[in-house]
Amino acid sequence: MGEFNDAFIFGCSAIGAGLAVIAGIGPGVGQGIAAGYGANAVGRNPGAKGDITSTMLLGQAVAETTGLYGLLIAMLLLFVKPFT
């Protein structure tokens, strides 16, 4: 019975890790939209390229943290075995 419990826990951990990695979709879409709007803004006002680029990169870095948190959770679920 113990082998079944371990296999079940590991299987559920793998499913949870897969779901956690799906969190990377949101930051990817958000960063693409931000880059598009940044390029549009630079096209309208080339003189403000430095300010626009720095603001866009800061926003993308903040948006990427959610994807990294999802990856961290996935790694923890796959490689940390709390019940063994």
pLDDT tens digits along 17-75: 999 888 888 888 988 998 999 999 999 999 999 999 999 999 888 888 888 999 999 99
Give CATH superfamily name and number for 2-78: F1F0 ATP synthase subunit C (1.20.20.10)
pLDDT value for 42 = 93
pLDDT tens digits along 3-33: 778 888 888 888 989 998 888 888 889 889 9
| Six-digit token string for 73 | 């959770």
Quick check: 27 and 63 in contact, CB under 8 A?
Answer: yes
Residues 37-76: b if buried by 16+ CB within 10 A, e if exposed: ebeebbeeeeeeeeebeeebeebbeebeeebeebeebbee
Domain coordinates in residue numbering, the chain? 2-78
pTM of the entire predicted model: 0.72
